[in-house]
Amino acid sequence: MQRRYLSLAAAIATTMTLTLTGCGSGTGSGDDVTLKLVAADYGDSKSNGSQHYWDELAGAFEKKHPGIKVDVDVYSWTDVDKKVEDMVKDGHAPDLAQIGAYADYAAKGQLYSADQLLSIPVQADFTPSLAEAGEYKRVQYGMPFGASTRRLFYNKKLFAQAGIASPPQDWDDIAHDAELLKAHGVSMPFALPLGPEETQAETLQWMLSGGGGYTDSIGKYTIDSPENVKTFTWLQKNLVAKGLTGTDPAKLNRAAAFQGFADGKVGMLNGHPTLMKQAGAKGIDYGSVELPGTNGKAKNTMGVADWMMAFKQGGHRAQVGKFLDFVYSDKNVEKFSAEYGLLPVTTSASEAMQADDTYAKLHGFLKQLPNAEFYPANKTSWPLISKTVKAKMGAAVDPRGNPAGVLTDIQNTADAADNTGE
C-alpha cells in the first residue's frame, strides 16, 4: 500500500503546482484545441462498433467543454497497435491512444504519467491491481480501460446428455468429463485455442492453474519453470493426445473456439465475459466456474486490461486531463462495461455493478478482479515475448512435441530480451 500512497502524494503535489503556476508552457491551455484519440474496436459488428461509443461520448464532452474537440479513429485489434506505432515513428503521435501495451512508450519518456493528467479522486478510484499493472518503474503511465478475468465455461445441455452432474473442479475432472463428452458424440469436448490469435492468454490461464506463471514475484521470466513444464506436459498427454480437443490446438483461434461454444459444439473452454453475450444470443444454456487447478480450483485467475495512454508530443496536458476525467466518470465506465461485456476498471463502478442484479452474471468475474494476475505489461520485452508465445506454444502440446523444449526456447528469448534491455 505504501506505493499507492506515494502515488497519490505525487498527484497532490502536481495539482498544487498547476494551481500555483497556472496552465503554463507545455500544458496546451489555449482555446479551440482538437485532441486526437486512436482507439481499439470492441464491437463484433458495425452496428455495435466502438466508433459509436466514442462519437457519443466525445459529443457529450464537447457540449460541456466547447473549446475542446475530440477526433476519434477506431481500428480493429489486428491493426490498432501498429497504427499507433507508425504514427509515433512518423512524428505524429496522437494525444491519446487506447491500445494493448504502454511500457515501451513510457520507457522512452513519451507519455504523461497518470498523476500529471487525472484529478486525485479519479486516479485513486482505479482498482488497485489494475493501477499497479499500469506502472512502469513504479510510476503509473498506463490507465486501465476495459478489463476481464477468466472462468471455465461449460455447456449444461451437453453435460447432462453425457451424464455429468456437476462442473469440473480440478484437472482430473476436466479429463474425465472430456472423455464422457467425446463418448457421447461431442466434436470438441475441450476447446484449447493455442492458435496465433490470443495464445498468450490461454497459455497464462493454464500456467496459473498449474501453480506457475510468466514471471516470479520480482518480475523475472519463469516460462520454463517445473510447474509450467508439468502443466503443458499434462495437456499434451491427457487432452491433446487423446483427441479430447477435437482439433489441433495450434490451429484453433480464440474467436473460432468461442463460436464453436455458441454453436453448441464445444463442451468446455476457458472464456471471458463477452462469451456470455455470444452464447446467450444463440440460446446456449451455460455455466461458469473458477478455473480448475491440479487439486481443486486454481489459486489465481488471469486478468486482462487494455490501456489508455497520453502522449506528450501534442502538449495538450490540461485538455487531455479534462477529457480523461470525463471518460472515467462512473456513468461512462459503467456504460462502456455494460455495452461490451467487460469489467469496470474503477472501484466505484465495480461496487455499483456488484450491487445491481442486472449484472448478476458478471459478479463472479468481478469478484476475481482484485486478485487476478496480469500479463507482465510493465516489461518492455513483453510485446516480443507475447509474439513468440503466439508463434510457438501450439507446438508444445502436439502429441509428437516437446513441451520442455518449447518452453526453454521461449525462456531463452525472454532472457536475451531482458539482458539487452529490449
Q: What is the rounded CA–CA span in Å between residue 28 and residue 313?
A: 11
pLDDT at 421: 62
260 in any annotated domain: yes
Query: CB–CB of 367/154 below 8 Å?
Result: no
On whether both 200 and 285 belong to a single domain, the answer is yes
Which CATH number belongs to the domain containing residue 365 in this structure? 3.40.190.10
- Give the gyration radius of the chain's Cα atoms: 22
Low-confidence stretches of the chain (pLDDT < 70) are 1-31, 421-422
On whether both 127 and 90 belong to a single domain, the answer is yes
178 in any annotated domain: yes
On whether both 297 and 317 belong to a single domain, the answer is no
pLDDT at 23: 37
Q: How many CA atoms lie within 13 A of 60 on its CB side?
A: 10
Q: What is the pTM of this model?
A: 0.83
- What residues contact 243, with CB distance under 8 A and at least 6 apart? 182
42 in any annotated domain: yes
Q: How many helices (H) and strands (E) does the chain have?
A: 18, 13
On whether both 12 and 136 belong to a single domain, the answer is yes
376 in any annotated domain: no
On whether both 163 and 193 belong to a single domain, the answer is yes
Query: CB–CB of 100/318 below 8 Å?
Result: no
pLDDT at 31: 63
How far from 389 is each of 118, 252, 257, CA to CA, in Å?
35, 14, 18
On whether both 293 and 325 belong to a single domain, the answer is no
On whether both 293 and 312 belong to a single domain, the answer is no
Domain boundary among 371, 390, 405: 371
- What residues contact 244, with CB distance under 8 A and at least 6 apart? 175, 178, 179, 181, 182, 189, 190, 238
Residue-by-residue DSSP string for 121-163:
HHHHTB-HHHHHHTEETTEE-PEEEEEEE-EEEEEHHHHHHTT
Number of domains in the chain: 2
Nearest alpha-carbon partner for 152 in 199, 209, 197: 209
On whether both 93 and 164 belong to a single domain, the answer is no
pLDDT at 413: 97
- The range of the structural domain enclosing residue 177 comes to 151-301+381-419
On whether both 109 and 239 belong to a single domain, the answer is no
On whether both 408 and 272 belong to a single domain, the answer is yes
On whether both 9 and 62 belong to a single domain, the answer is yes
10 in any annotated domain: yes
Query: What does the block give as the cell for 196?
Result: 496465433
On whether both 142 and 156 belong to a single domain, the answer is no
pLDDT at 385: 95
